[in-house]
Chain A
């Protein structure tokens, strides 16, 4: 009974919201795109093409799977651009050598809520050396250019990304923790990404492995029941469920397999509730 009332209430609120939205005929509220919960990493202009690029992140940029949101504006008119082709090119310049990082370009040429979501897996921290180039092709005027951001990538504690040498040989594997970012006692979505380091500049996603997880409390030696092993969803992402029975430090042990072959069996991520 309680639930049905709740549903009814939510339903009515939604209907109200929709009706309101229609009536007021205001397609874009003042805070569009909404960046209230985002941090501005930097603002840059494309070398050519006259596009202002704002780079937003969900918080401090750290050596982990990092979501970015790209806001594009026409630098002359300040008009928001929502139809564009955006491509990332992260780069770490270590002086003697350079390497890139796994990344995810926006899946669509159409912005979501005015922003283009994308992501980079920074496999190492660095106060200096990291740059992120954003290549933009503005479909409105067919202009094209590249903006460059210099990043300071902090070292997260505990570790959220690791580059490991597979036990079965082959290219190094980049394993990165995605969520839970705010773990709770009970059931949590658990997500990691897998990328292989084909070369210094190429990190294709790994989409065919199987992952099993085994959470434990290191100081107690016990685990938790009813975990769901992550399975591949898209672009190197593997999503499952992890259970925490109490607060404290948990270690999620991973075993990564390619068919019947063990790829890596000693990776783990620590989570503190």
Chain B
């Protein structure tokens, strides 16, 4: 029961449990070894949680969440009610946190910066890591998350499992298979950990193959298939009790990925991710930990129109990103202060090409990302102050220097077409800071308030895009190298009541964003893409605002029964009062779960209000309200310290035809879907 593999399972369970319970930011790890100041221990203990601000420590649930490892990473993220997904197909959805998508978020794996190579954002970083390789996910809102970079929306850091040293038994792992009916999908997963006293090696593998799915009502959604595999290797070596050396590698390859909402599919998307980490735990009272990390990764992405019948002209659209980086950080403890200081930096290159092949003519070639080099050097400081048992204060600040330049002369020539000079490097300094205060108001009551200021650099697309077609608004997009740095003043607050049977939490946030970057129609320009509506160019709106909140109630009348309901709402508006695009309407998930011994049964209802606040320039259409019902059940058979888990269910029981507001192209989501997952942990 307490084997390391189960520990892994447990940690994931706890994370997912927390993601379901939580409405807000979460800092949640298992076995936080940093707290054991004087020794390094790779011991998996019950989850610990330490946070200040927009987060709270959830009640630990003993639910069997092993089925979550068959989900995709983005689906797990979306269990957090602050996170929605932009869906373009049945694969690799783009996370949106509080109405802010990947351009405004730091999406990292073990703190490593990775950039998708698709100009259409078909490959968010979440698509390159699988849940059976995840230990925890760290979601921090706004500038509170600036440890991982300057951003407006916050940080989503996915922490991988890593190998486990000095486990109870040398070999441990999990093998599992899952099937689902809507897309005739098959999942297979395998984890193995080999553990010795001073070193360990862990491997993880996942294979998925899904066909075109059946939407509610019975229509087959063409071009929604995909196939992928993901392999991860982690090796750890502990030369002394105070040093850990860790090497991680993730390989991810997806093939024949259909994107029904786009005019093209993806032939392949490949990522290779490498990280080398050294951690030192000095035997000094005031230094808890020193960590140095180097990493490198490459992503290759190739779009494919050969499976489509309505192609006017064949085109190739490959994209590449390569990123190198590293950080050096230390955690210091001085009386009431727990400080983190960090120096980090990365260099990334992004290049994307488009070649069209007209009949009997020369190929037409252009750079949609003109070989853009980006250098980012940052310094970060955080201080968590425990004033006393009731009051905690947290402060963080970050400074970044960002320099971008176009390295391909063709890119410079292309930009000259728009009278833009991109020959010289574009340099910016970014400032981020936030302060949080958390207090215990009385028995079971806690409250927190956060204020922050954030800045972010424009994305490669916002600065350098060259006729990148966006299938949502139907416009070709062009960057502007001189687009102004986006800034935001942020405030959030929350209150939580926790009694024996009831947990209630409510949070609210308000972001006032200055120089909000949004593309605007430039009617003087001619669209390049055949059939496109026109050309949009990146511009700064004077300001925009995002506001929203979450309310979650959990009621456990008796030990075996839990009712839970979570609602989230976000409102976004430009200074002119126009709605910001792609804002999720009010969304609610209500569930009831009954657990008896090794069995559990749950029913959940997921619903959303209609979204009529649409941005016409963005080509948005209103989305109708929907509600779907899911039934789930689980059971496990213990075999000594091993366990066979069975999970199954029926999603969208009523076969409702629906789509969420963030789904592109009006493509309906899957209809009734039966699934069964079997896994064996040892």
Contact = CB atoms under 8 A, between A and B. Distances in A.
Interface of A: 184-187, 217, 219-226, 243-249, 272-273
Nearest to A2: B424
A225 B365 contact: no
Contacts of B415: 186
Given A245-B417, A273-B362, 5 more contacts: A222-B527, A223-B526, A225-B525, A246-B365, A246-B366
B417 A248 contact: no
B417 A187 contact: yes
B417 A220 contact: no
26 contacts: A185-B410, A185-B413, A186-B413, A186-B414, A186-B415, A186-B416, A219-B356, A219-B359, A220-B313, A220-B528, A220-B530, A222-B526, A222-B530, A224-B526, A226-B417, A243-B416, A243-B417, A245-B466, A246-B365, A246-B366, A246-B467, A247-B363, A247-B364, A247-B366, A248-B356, A248-B364
Contacts of B467: 245-246
Give the interface centre of A184, A221, A244, A247 by most chain B CB atoms within 10 Å.
Answer: A247
A186 B525 CA distance: 15
B309 interface: no
B62 interface: no
B361 A225 contact: no
A273 B361 CA distance: 11
Nearest to B313: A219
B418 interface: yes
A225 B523 CA distance: 11
Interface of B: 313, 354, 356, 358-359, 361-366, 410, 412-419, 466-467, 524-530
Contact of A225 (B363, B366, B526, B530): B526
Nearest to A225: B525
A219 B416 contact: no
Interface majority SS (helix, strand, loop, mixed), chain B: loop
Given A185-B410, A186-B416, A225-B417, A248 B361 contact: yes
Given A185-B414, A224-B417, A246 B364 contact: yes
Contacts of B361: 219, 248-249, 272
Nearest to A217: B364
Contacts of A248: 356, 358, 361-365
B362 A220 contact: no
Contacts of B365: 246-248
- Looking at chain A's contact residues, the main secondary structure is loop
Given A222-B527, A226-B418, A184 B413 contact: yes
A223 B356 CA distance: 16
Given A217-B364, A246-B366, A186 B358 contact: no
Contacts of B366: 185, 245-247
A246 to B, nearest CB: 4
Nearest to B363: A248
B673 to A, nearest CB: 41
B241 to A, nearest CB: 51
B111 to A, nearest CB: 34
A246 B313 CA distance: 16
A268 B359 CA distance: 20
A187 B418 CA distance: 9
B105 to A, nearest CB: 31
Nearest to B362: A272
A221 B416 CA distance: 21
Contacts of B363: 247-248
**Among the interface residues A219, A220, A243, A246, which one has the most CB atoms of the partner chain B within 10 A?**
A246
B358 A249 contact: yes
Nearest to B467: A245
A130 B364 CA distance: 38
A221 B528 CA distance: 8
Given A219-B358, A225-B418, A245 B528 contact: yes
Contacts of B364: 217, 219-220, 246-249
A268 to B, nearest CB: 15
Contacts of A186: 412-417
A220 B356 contact: yes
Nearest to B359: A219
A55 to B, nearest CB: 33
Contacts of A225: 417-418, 524-526
B414 A245 contact: yes
Nearest to B476: A222
Nearest to A227: B417
Contacts of A222: 526-530
Nearest to A273: B362
B536 to A, nearest CB: 13
Q: In the A-B complex, list the 6 residue pairs whose CB atoms are closest, starting with the nearest.
A: A186-B413, A248-B364, A246-B366, A219-B358, A247-B365, A223-B526
Residue from the set B413, B417, B466 with the largest chain A CB neighbour count within 10 Å: B417
A248 B524 CA distance: 23
A247 B366 CA distance: 7
B526 A226 contact: no
Contacts of A273: 362
B465 to A, nearest CB: 13
B416 A249 contact: no
Contacts of B410: 185
A132 B267 CA distance: 59
Contacts of B417: 185-187, 224-226, 243-245
Nearest to A223: B526
Contacts of A223: 526
A13 to B, nearest CB: 22
A245 B367 CA distance: 10
Nearest to A249: B361
A247 B413 CA distance: 12
Contacts of B528: 220, 222, 245-246
B362 A247 contact: yes
A219 B364 CA distance: 10
A85 B477 CA distance: 57
A246 B354 CA distance: 9
B451 to A, nearest CB: 40
Nearest to A216: B526
A5 B387 CA distance: 57
Contacts of A224: 417, 526
Contacts of B530: 220-222
A69 to B, nearest CB: 30
Contacts of A243: 416-417
Contacts of B527: 222
A200 to B, nearest CB: 37
Query: Among the interface residues B313, B416, B529, which one has the most CB atoms of the partner chain A within 10 A?
Result: B416
